[in-house]
Amino acid sequence: MSRNSVRRWSATFATLALAVTGLAAPAAPASAAPAPAAVACEVDFTSSIWTGGYVGNARIRNVGDIPWNSVLVEFTLPDNHQLTSIWNYNVQVFGQHVRAERAIGAPPVPPGGSIDLGFVVRYTGTALPPSNWRVNGVACSAPGRSPAVLVDPATRTVPEGSSASFTVRLSHPPTQSVQVQMTINGTGVWASPPMVITFSPTDWSTPKSYLLYSTQDADSFDDVAVLTLTVPGYRPATVTFTQVDDD
């Protein structure tokens, strides 16, 4: 059953994508060249501290628009702090500078994906977090400070044969008009309006509404679809739609 559902879904969405492209062409701004692909990262560091040591974990998120096929993480430990062990990474330590390379053969980290780096530190004096985080040579930012696609709400339930909407906006202004790309994964048969959402340097913070329609299906299964909204250079957002089947 679910295999059939997925196939129907794919066919439906392909048709919609064509419709969207057809309508978009006249309205697309001439200057809307895609932004160059870039590495960008965000680090959320947490630790569990005891006297003289801590276990640290860095959740490192890919907020750029290209996958990381290999990952080299670098950071700086404060003075009087020393790395004693690290999990799942090949590590080199130069004074306070730590280079941690992800094992060869680990799966790529896609845009929007994240990895964890866990390690143990011994210290004297006061425990302090590492700084100067970099991934593949690019400096990382703290969570919430990098550009992101913002949606509201992030989850919706949709009665079969009905629709549910959400709004989307950007956290930071783009340098030129950008188009929101949407991809969908899940089961069921869904439809969406043939419209393109663009944001310009002047209307980037204005929420724009979009909806997904759950078409009637013969099964009695509550289908789930995850819509991913992507803008190059911004952290992607997802909206999860759960069908309330009426059969």
CB of 86 to Ca ion, least distance (A): 46
Closest to Ca ion by CB, 109 vs 225, is 225
Apex CA 155: angle with CA 172 and CA 223, to 5°?
135
Quote the DSSP letter at residue 106. Answer: P
Closest to Ca ion by CB, 205 vs 216, is 216
Helix, strand or coil, per DSSP, at residue 16? helix
Please give the residue whose beta carbon sits closest to Ca ion in the complex. Answer: 247
CB of 216 to Ca ion, least distance (A): 6
CB of 160 to Ca ion, least distance (A): 5
Task: State yes or no: cis peptide before 207, omega within 30 of 0.
Answer: no
Q: How many residues bind Ca ion (CB under 5 A)?
A: 6
User: Taking the alpha carbons of 122, 125, 128, 134 in that order, is the dihedral positive or negative?
Assistant: negative
Report the site for Ca ion in 146-185 (rule: CB under 5 A): none
CB of 243 to Ca ion, least distance (A): 5
Helix, strand or coil, per DSSP, at residue 10? helix
- If binding is defined by CB under 5 A, does position 221 make contact with Ca ion? yes
CB of 183 to Ca ion, least distance (A): 21
C-alpha to C-alpha distance for 105 and 6, rounded to whole angstroms: 30
Taking the mean position of all CA atoms in its chain, how far away is CA 92? Answer: 29
Q: What are the structure tokens assigned to 99, written together?
A: 């280079």
Q: Which stretch binds Ca ion (CB under 5 A): 39-47, 142-150, 210-218, 227-235?
A: 210-218
- If binding is defined by CB under 5 A, does position 190 make contact with Ca ion? no
Beta bridge pairs of residue 80: none
Quote the DSSP letter at residue 77. Answer: P
Give residues with Cβ within 8 angstroms of 8, minimum separation 6.
188, 189, 217
CB of 219 to Ca ion, least distance (A): 5
In the sheet with 131-135, reading across from the earlier edge strand, the strands are: 89-94, 97-102, 72-76, 131-135, 138-139
Q: Which stretch binds Ca ion (CB under 5 A): 15-23, 74-82, 97-105, 216-224?
A: 216-224
- If binding is defined by CB under 5 A, does position 44 make contact with Ca ion? no
- If binding is defined by CB under 5 A, does position 245 make contact with Ca ion? yes
Among 100, 223, 227, 234, binds Ca ion (CB under 5 A): 223
CB of 214 to Ca ion, least distance (A): 8
Among 42, 65, 74, 217, binds Ca ion (CB under 5 A): 217
Binding site for Ca ion (CB under 5 A): 217, 219, 221, 223, 245, 247
